Structure 1
Amino acid sequence: MEELFREYDMILALMAVGIVVRQVCPLLRDKWTDKPVVAVDSALKTAVPVIGGHHGANDLALYLFKHLGIYPAITTATDSSGRPNLEGIASAFGSEIVNRDASKHINASFLYQDVPIVRLRGPRIVIVDKDVAVLKSSGLIAGLGARKGATADEILSAVRSATAEAGRDVSEVRVIATSEIKSCDPEISRAAAKLGVSVVYLPDDALNAQKPLTPSRASMLGLSGVAEPAVLALAQRMILPKKVYGRVTVALGE
């Protein structure tokens, strides 16, 4: 097991959880560097993420469920409650968690409330408490506005067209950002799932705090806009002002 920990990114152990625990315990250092470990019983009925749930083990268990029908016995609190977690959000943004100790406080808070995501632009000095997580991000933010009836395929096509116009690849998109008004639109979720990214639904005050580059029909809804303000709220800079692709509007930032 020690050799496996050195050579591989994650471990799928076809053995009882008790055996896995005894083998890996002497090798564990901290949750940020320990390799994800999933134990699967010999009958291929259950996959148990033992170590590194938020660092790949839960995803591996879900992959086994999707492709082999093995039940994913996920025990991390946020995942089993269907709630977000800090590590997942950082991954969606392609970000590094600067103050990792904050993860315990943030993930505990996610169990009973939505934790806001705030972008601060410098130069400035920021002092944070231990329950505030600081992320250093990279990758593209796709600000999205979609008219009623826009399908997941239309959304995907629009995002691909926007990234191509910006001279970037669609694989660089880390997150789709839109208004919380669209949180009940399943087509946006489907499009994001096909891209393998998360969706951030921003409240009205977060969008209206931004100054979009171009006028928007969203003013009829009391918003300064959707696509551009969503990018400005989360990205460091706009790289593609909003473009309209049929029933979908996309802006890009990074």
Structure 2
Amino acid sequence: CVDEGGRFAVSLVGGHGGGANELARAVGEVLGAEPVVTTATDAVGLAALDTLGLPVEGDVAGVSRALLDGEPVALRAEVAWPLPPLPVTAEGACGIRVTDRAVEPAAGEVVLRPPSLVVGVGASRGAPVDEVLGLVEAALREAGLSAASVAELATVDAKAGEPGIVGAAERLGVPLVTYPADELAGVEVPNPSDAPLAAVGTPSVAEAAALV
């Protein structure tokens, strides 16, 4: 919202998730107006949990309120991942949990999902995207891991344009990275196979690509 005199650009709703705070700043710059941002964390210079660039689940409002009120908030980092300075303690009724495991947030808890997983994928020519994606999701479930922490899919160069693999990466919203067959062939894997060796020149595609 901008006042009639063009003096203030006010973020009214959706400050973080909706992008209103950044919009207020951008509008203010264009008009020479003062951006007015009233979200509590911004007002006191505290990093907002929903602006860290990580998928976030759980009681964001409640844990943010506890941080703002100076209440003890515990940080439980199961995965080492850079975070901005946060006023956290070893123990507290509220908590911030950093994990790539498939867990549900507890009451008064926020779960941050770091992009810490790489999924190796191989596929026969013409494999449908639903089948590839289904196998990726099944592998994550079996390992007890969250799809929200997948950073990329990895495969062999020869499969860089395979529609099923490309489509699975697009649906997950992650990049597809590929490696030369000779590089993958040099990786020691638990389950080598003659089939990919004959097809693309490496005894492992999915396992080797994930390890690389």
TM-score (structure 2 length as normaliser): 0.48
Which of the two has greater helix per residue?
1
TM-score (structure 1 length as normaliser): 0.41
